[in-house]
Structure 1
């Protein structure tokens, strides 16, 4: 005879809450970074604090990994910065661990999706929300190093009117489904291209990075033989207080493989950007560089390169990090401390909360 067992409603409620709190789909447990150069594994990505310009001002910052699984990652950062309004204080960011090392001419597509919002932001906030993509002549190299030829930035937000380095070279151009103003200028030994949104904040961005690469090759003289060295996405705060939430980010790079085409006329391409269970057929010489080889578990490890307090300290008290190919999310202290360097001629003009560089 079957016996029906009745459980107390309180026990059922506790069980439901417990199950809702469990990570699913390979999601990572929440991890908060506090040290200036702390990084943590985030599935296909690495998340870094990267307080590379903190010693130009005063303030603090923490960065939190919320979840990571498959090709997607979710994270957030909270900061308050003051002083030196023309200097970047940090670049909390994620970078893709494997989407690099291919020539621009061999990239077939680089679909990306980014959803973000400010949970709170002070009225005097000056910050961007941006892609920071690095290319160079060698196949691999640290961002902002002697191996860098170009820094390609895509600004989805420009709070405080901080603009980008250099001069405007194109206005209201249509690239990747959106409208941009393009600036170009030198920074140390590399050249910077900044696609700055002409639409205001783009908080739901779905595009193809290859559209930007092809525009620069066709219209701005970037060599198609340049190697993709790193894809980073994050925020550059100058001054102000904010809580920035990245609810979802993903990127995938598919290339034409240099190896001979196999005898099969087609093969399956697995794209980490798509959640579809059936991959589309592609030529056999096309390979995907965005699919993670491993998925982060609830025991995400943290790499502490410098565990000092996040409050800005004098440069003499901070450890100088040259960065490495394995941790490109941490910018080396050897590079310039200001992405918006003061012009060699002209003046810095302030209009209310807006700060822009004007050259005569």
Structure 2
């Protein structure tokens, strides 16, 4: 297991006990500062900040509606170049009891940009599923990540099984374990700054090719964000994130 990719499991564990900040406060700088509205949420998830020698991060809401959110995050981290400091994200709020087998589509779109790529970071969707529909949202039985970008040699957990085609795009599929959670990471071949697609297609692929149990797994979280290692000052702007579960 590479030190640089302990991100998936440990980033998930750190979601416990978020600090609720009021909706009148669109900029969240405290660890686990949280906002929700219109069926979406933001979290300033500074789960790995203790591995930094110095640094800070905030996440700011720009706008929100029932059709999506716009937001940005500013960060600077030094020390522990192979250790993730944070996963600031936007997420679609999920109703409990959504079996993957009963979901017909999970359409989503995002447009994002960094003001600098001289950082160690990734930009990725993160999705957890579990057999228990009431499972905590900090981890799951399975994790499915869709990496739209990897900046300066950061890698997913596990091993690279080679290129797969999903929805007409090419991804390197990585598979590994974090404790008892199995992680599937689809890493886009070439950074994708404007992306839209049906993430249910990834589950269909895993059902047909990797034995993923769609009939017993429930959707727990459906998120998009960036995992920051070191660098900055850096700013990532998400001009629009939309997601739905049908």
Residues in 2 aligned to 1:86 and 1:42: alpha-carbon distance in whole angstroms: 34
Matched with 1:51 is: 46
Q: Which of 32, 37, 56 is the equivalent residue of 2:32?
A: 37
After superposition, residues 232-271 of structure 1 pair within 5 angstroms as 232-241=223-232, 242-254=234-246
Q: Does the 8 Å CA contact 1:30/1:67 hold for their aligned counterparts?
A: no
Residues in 2 aligned to 1:35 and 1:226: alpha-carbon distance in whole angstroms: 33
Query: What secondary structure sits across from 1:121 in the alignment?
Result: coil
- Once the 2 structures are TM-superposed, how far is the Cα of residue 100 of structure 1 from its aligned partner? 5.2
Gaps of 5+ in 1: 1-27, 255-360
Q: Does the 8 Å CA contact 1:111/1:253 hold for their aligned counterparts?
A: yes
CA RMSD of aligned residues (A): 1.5
Residues in 1 aligned to 2:27 and 2:186: alpha-carbon distance in whole angstroms: 31
Matched with 1:329 is: none
Q: Which of 191, 194, 200 is the equivalent residue of 1:204?
A: 194
Gaps of 5+ in 2: 1-22
- Larger fraction in strand: 2
- Once the 2 structures are TM-superposed, how far is the Cα of residue 139 of structure 1 from its aligned partner? 0.9
Q: Does the 8 Å CA contact 1:99/1:230 hold for their aligned counterparts?
A: no
Residue 56 to residue 204, structure 1, CA distance change in 2 (3 Å): same
Residues in 2 aligned to 1:40 and 1:238: alpha-carbon distance in whole angstroms: 24
Tell me which structure has the larger Cα radius of gyration.
1
- Once the 2 structures are TM-superposed, how far is the Cα of residue 81 of structure 1 from its aligned partner? 0.9
Residues in 1 aligned to 2:125 and 2:235: alpha-carbon distance in whole angstroms: 18
Question: In the comparison of the two structures, how many residue pairs are matched?
Answer: 221
Query: What secondary structure sits across from 2:87 in the alignment?
Result: coil
- Once the 2 structures are TM-superposed, how far is the Cα of residue 122 of structure 1 from its aligned partner? 5.2
Residues in 2 aligned to 1:141 and 1:65: alpha-carbon distance in whole angstroms: 28
- Once the 2 structures are TM-superposed, how far is the Cα of residue 30 of structure 1 from its aligned partner? 7.3
Residues in 2 aligned to 1:228 and 1:168: alpha-carbon distance in whole angstroms: 25
Q: Does 1:88 align with 2:79?
A: no
Q: Does the 8 Å CA contact 1:126/1:238 hold for their aligned counterparts?
A: yes
Q: Does the 8 Å CA contact 2:51/2:85 hold for their aligned counterparts?
A: yes
Question: TM-score, normalization: structure 2?
Answer: 0.86
Residue 245 to residue 168, structure 1, CA distance change in 2 (3 Å): same
Matched with 1:172 is: 163
Q: Which of 145, 148, 154 is the equivalent residue of 2:146?
A: 154
